[in-house]
Amino acid sequence: MRSDPQAPPYVELHLAGRTVLHRITMSTIERRLDPAEFIRVHRTSMVRRGLVTSIERAGDGSFVLSLSPGERVPVSERYAPSVRALLSC
């Protein structure tokens, strides 16, 4: 999931084989989703925990998640400690 900075409060939901634009804020969707299944990784992004294959440190010291479909998602400094803690469980 990613929020669309050009069209707030819309969120792009990446579903099986398609992307849907939905009128909702990231904070609202975060409250509605099970935190055991979804991780907020950036103010504009959330990912399903089961899709995460690895967390890597980028050259600038930031973190990037690799997801099973081959996508890479940046992790903001704000969310890095909680993301690392959740994924180490």
pLDDT higher for 52 or 16?
Answer: 52
Residue 2's pLDDT is 74
According to CATH, what is the number of the domain 2-87?
A: 2.40.50
Please report which confidence band the pLDDT of residue 1 belongs to, taking 50, 70 and 90 as the band edges: low
- Cβ atoms of 28 and 13 within 8 Å: the answer is no
- Express each pLDDT in 32-69 by its tens digit: 999 999 999 999 999 999 999 998 888 888 899 999 87
Q: Domain-by-domain residue ranges, the chain?
A: 2-87
Q: Is the pTM of this model over 0.85?
A: no
| pLDDT, average across residues 70-78 | 92
Note the pLDDT of residue 86.
76
Contacts of residue 66, defined as CB under 8 A and 6 or more positions apart, other chains included, come to 52, 53, 54, 55, 56, 72
What sections of 21-68 are H helices per DSSP?
A: 26-32
